[in-house]
Amino acid sequence: MLQIKELKAGIEGNQILKGINLEVKAGEIHAIMGPNGSGKSTLSAVIAGKEEYEVEGGAISFDGENLLELDPEERAHNGIFLSFQYPVEIPGISVSNFIKTSITEKRKAQGLEPLPTKNLLKMMREKMELLSIKKGYLSRNMNEGFSGGEKKRNEIFQMAMLEPKLAILDETDSGLDIDALRIVANGVNKLRTGDNATIVITHYQRLLDYIVPDFVHVLHNGRIIKSGGKELALELEEKGYDWITKEADKKWA
């Protein structure tokens, strides 16, 4: 589904990603862990198409197509979804209106008519129930005045509505208390099919108790320095990152 080869990207001449290789197949869950500032959010933003970052080398393909040639909205239409580490407040537009617009635009790109409002509202209610989202939330302005946890839940709500092929969850767990974490993880699990895939970016092993990854990668200083199975997350939880980052620093010094 997603293939990243030797990806190098940065901003204003400052290289942040220094050669990333990653392959994600349909049905898989990958976890990306790593210390602060290692480039996790940059990687997800580059996959989603943030133009601020300059791709200096390497390639990304998604379902066989060169992703780097597509605009962010085209990537979304093709099934990529990024749950932002810091979701943006959009005052003046309600959650329901926002989601309606994004679904309508996605359907438009696929040559489909807009979903009738009735069906859309029904779908919203179902997904809200799945994520234990309270009524009244739909008419609030997009992320405006939302608590950290509410913003994250809103991200997953949008994901549930858009049904992406590849979801990238950038620190969706931060800001969530344990109950909310369980609800969100449960939602993510329920949305899983054999055809979609998830990349979970997290600092903590905790989320991975609920969303169990097939692969765990450690990102450090713009490179994936170690990959393994779900046990790797437990090992990192226990020993921290030092034992692998030191080795890597020596190698790339």
Partner 1 sequence: MGLIKNIKSYSEGIQISAEKREILTSFLSNGFPTTKDEEWKYTSLKKVIANEYSIENKGTIIDSSVIEKYSLGLKNKIIFSDGRLINSPSIKGVNINGFSEFESANTDSILQLNKALSKNGFTISVDKNTALENPIEILFFSTTVNGFSQYRNQISIGENSEVKFIERLQNLNNSASFVNHFTQINCAENTKVEYNKIQNNTAESQLIDTVNVYQEQDSTCNINTLIFGGSFIRNNLNFEQNGSNCESNMNGVSILNNNQLADNHTFVDHKSAHCRSNEMYKGVYLDNSKGVFNGKIMVRPDAQKIDAFQSNNNLLLSDTSSIDSKPQLEIYADDVKCSHGCTIGQLDDDALFYMRSRGIGIEEAKAVLTYAFASEAIENISVEQVKSLAKKLLAKKLNVDLDFSL
Ligand X SMILES: Nc1ncnc2c1ncn2[C@@H]1O[C@H](COP(=O)(O)OP(=O)(O)O)[C@@H](O)[C@H]1O
Q: List contacts with ligand X (CB under 6 A).
A: 11, 16, 34, 36-42, 52
CB of 209 to partner 1, least distance (A): 28
CA dist 108 and 100 (Å) reads 12
Segment 111 to 170, residues that bind partner 1, using CB under 8 A: 117, 120, 158, 162
Segment 202 to 231, residues that bind partner 1, using CB under 8 A: none
159: enclosing H helix or E strand: helix 148-162
How many other CB atoms sit within 10 Å of the CB of residue 30?
A: 21
Q: Which of 71, 195, 237, 247 touches partner 1 by CB under 8 A?
A: 71
Smaller CB separation from ligand X, 52 or 231: 52
Smaller CB separation from ligand X, 81 or 100: 81
Q: Which amino acid is at 32?
A: I
DSSP-assigned letters across all residues of 75-99: HHHTTEEEE-SSPPPEEEEEHHHHH
105: CB partners within 8 A, 6+ apart: 73, 77
What's CA 148's distance to the chain center, in Å? 16
Answer yes or no whether residue 82 interacts with partner 1 by CB under 8 A.
yes
CA dist 150 and 157 (Å) reads 10
Bridge partners (DSSP) of residue 217 are 32, 227
Smaller CB separation from partner 1, 10 or 233: 10
Smaller CB separation from ligand X, 41 or 196: 41
Smaller CB separation from partner 1, 161 or 185: 161
CB of 223 to ligand X, least distance (A): 12
Q: Which residue has the tokens 């320095």?
A: 225
Do 216 and 33 touch, CB atoms closer than 8 A? yes
CB of 39 to ligand X, least distance (A): 4
Q: Which residue has the tokens 């509202």?
A: 121
Smaller CB separation from ligand X, 100 or 222: 222
Do 33 and 202 touch, CB atoms closer than 8 A? yes
Query: Which of the ranges 15-23, 99-107, 179-187, 227-235 carries the binding residues for partner 1, by CB under 8 A?
Result: 99-107
CA dist 245 and 35 (Å) reads 9
Q: Which of 11, 109, 112, 178 touches partner 1 by CB under 8 A?
A: 109
Q: Which amino acid is at 90?
A: I
Query: Which of the ranges 18-26, 35-43, 74-82, 170-178 carries the binding residues for partner 1, by CB under 8 A?
Result: 74-82
Which stretches of the chain bind Mg ion, using CB under 5 A? Answer: 40-41, 85
Which stretches of the chain bind partner 1, using CB under 8 A? Answer: 48-52, 71-73, 75-77, 80-82, 84, 87-94, 96-98, 100-106, 109, 117, 120, 158, 162
